[in-house]
Amino acid sequence: MNCHNGEKYLHESIKSIMSQIYKNWELIFFDNQSKDSTTKILKKFNDKRIKYFKSKKFLNLYEARNLAISKAKGKYICFCDYDDWWKKDKLKKQINYVKKNKKAYFVFSNLHIYNEKTKKSFLYFKKMPSGKITQTLLDEYRLGILSVFMHKKLFQKNKFNKRYNIIGDFDFFLKLSLKEKFYCIPEPLAFYRHHDTNFSKKTNLFANEMDHWIKKNSYKFKKLNYSLKRFKFNYYKLKLKQLIGWGL
């Protein structure tokens, strides 16, 4: 769990981990220079499975993710940001899945989107991909990092790109999908909280990072015979929508 000033939602997020049916977990809590009551909230849980680390300086999110992963001792890695939460059977169902499927090093699930204003939630994806899904992810990215359950060995040769603050999981998982099969549990096992301060709502930063990604990676994926036509169409349609929304 990476966190910067998470006091508003942090208690619910940690409580969802504490409530897991599967109990053999550790929580690597990486505090990215929080200035609010984050630390006080965390310490109230008083559980030895929670390991607290505080960054000496403020870092880009995906550099902080890499450092948090380096502190983990477990065989598998999951992600839960301070404003999201898991269903209580998330870890149990994913553990059971990898026990039955020995080659499943990367397992993800569907998820709910929870609207903080309306207090209502809805199923995010109607159809979930599984297997060799690189082209599917390019056509329509349907993979939430908070639903991921993956073998730690996949990080031995792969790291999140530390220049990114928003699209680092998109970049990392898409490139990993070139090498690995992704296995899907179609039912929702987590909740993504949609609120006014979501990092993903910082549209200028998102656009800058995505433009950088396209410039750096288009040739590589085309050379591997993957099509970026639908991906670029969807992205530029989104940019146009944002421009219209800004009145430009």
Cα distances from 31 to residues 1, 23, 147, 174, 229, in angstroms, run: 8, 23, 21, 27, 39
- Tell me if 174 is assigned to some domain: yes
pLDDT above 60 (res 156): yes
Q: What mean pLDDT value characterizes the chain?
A: 94
Instruction: Specify the 3-state DSSP secondary structure of 59.
Output: coil
Q: Please report, for the domain that includes residue 34, its CATH number.
A: 3.90.550.10
pLDDT above 90 (res 191): yes
Cβ neighbors of 127 (< 8 A, separation 6 or more) are: 142
Report whether 62 contacts 160 (CB < 8 A).
yes
Domain count, the chain: 1
**Strands 27-31, 50-54: pairing kind:** parallel
Token code pair at residue 50: 């929670």
User: Residue range 55-80: average pLDDT?
Assistant: 97
- pLDDT range class, residue 245, cuts 50, 70, 90: low
Query: For 170, phi and psi rounded to 5 degrees?
Result: -55, -50
pLDDT above 90 (res 19): yes
Q: Which of 172, 233, 237, 242 is nearest to 204 (CA)?
A: 242
- Tell me if 136 is assigned to some domain: yes
- Tell me if 217 is assigned to some domain: no
Domain hosting 179: range is 2-201
The packing angle between helices 168-176 and 61-71, to 10°, is 60
- pLDDT range class, residue 127, cuts 50, 70, 90: confident
Token code pair at residue 48: 């030895």
Q: Which percentage of the chain shows pLDDT scores above 70?
A: 96
Q: Return the bridge partners of 52, or none.
A: 29
Q: Which of 38-42, 205-209, 240-244 has the lowest mean pLDDT?
A: 240-244
- Tell me if 224 is assigned to some domain: no
- Tell me if 245 is assigned to some domain: no
Q: Which of 56, 48, 4, 5 is nearest to 27 (CA)?
A: 48
pLDDT above 80 (res 59): yes
User: Residue range 203-227: average pLDDT?
Assistant: 94
Q: Which of 122, 30, 13 is nearest to 68 (CA)?
A: 30
| Amino acid in position 103 | K
pLDDT above 90 (res 241): no
Q: Which of 90, 97, 76 is nearest to 147 (CA)?
A: 90
Over residues 70-113, the pLDDT tens digits come to: 999 999 999 999 999 999 999 999 999 999 999 999 999 999 99
Cα separation, 204 vs 236, whole angstroms:
13
pLDDT given at position 202: 72
Q: Which of 210, 207, 198 is nearest to 4 (CA)?
A: 198
pLDDT above 80 (res 225): yes
- Tell me if 102 is assigned to some domain: yes
**Strands 106-115, 183-194: pairing kind:** parallel
- Tell me if 243 is assigned to some domain: no
pLDDT above 60 (res 246): no
Q: Which of 22, 25, 50 is nearest to 38 (CA)?
A: 50
- Tell me if 63 is assigned to some domain: yes
